[in-house]
């Protein structure tokens, strides 16, 4: 039986790398990303970040594409 494991490391940065993501905002942002990923059946392996960027490691199923998963970013931008 074939086995496929695809992991993608995504990084988002604030505009001009301004340190806008305080600890409180990061916490809310990470919760939002987790909720949104759960709704879309996207498995998050790891999420972390700092004041000016966010790292996200996701595992893709064979039927998921990187481009579809990265659309999560567009939803985040509109809601937060």
Vertex 46: Cα angle to 40 and 48 (nearest 5)? 110
Q: Which helix (H) or strand (E) holds 13?
A: strand 6-13
Q: Which two tokens stand for residue 72?
A: 């999560």
What string of pLDDT tens digits covers the 80 residues of the chain?
677 788 999 998 999 999 999 999 999 999 988 988 888 888 999 999 999 999 999 998 888 888 888 876 555 555 55
Going from the C-alpha of 66 to that of each of 27, 59, 61, the distances in angstroms are 25, 10, 10
For residues 42 and 78, give the distance between their C-alpha atoms in angstroms, rounded to a whole number: 19
Task: Report pLDDT for 27.
Answer: 94
Domain boundaries, the chain: 6-79
What's the topology of domain 6-79?
Answer: Alpha-Beta Plaits (3.30.70)
pTM for this one?
A: 0.78
């Amino acid at each position: 039986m074939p086995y496929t494991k695809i992991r993608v490391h995504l990084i988002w940065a604030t505009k001009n790398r301004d340190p806008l993501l305080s600890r409180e905002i990061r916490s809310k942002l990470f919760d939002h990303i987790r909720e949104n990923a759960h709704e879309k059946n996207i498995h998050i392996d790891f999420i972390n970040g700092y004041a000016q960027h966010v790292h996200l490691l996701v595992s893709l199923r064979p039927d998921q594409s990187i481009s579809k998963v990265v659309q999560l970013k567009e939803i985040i931008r509109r809601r937060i």
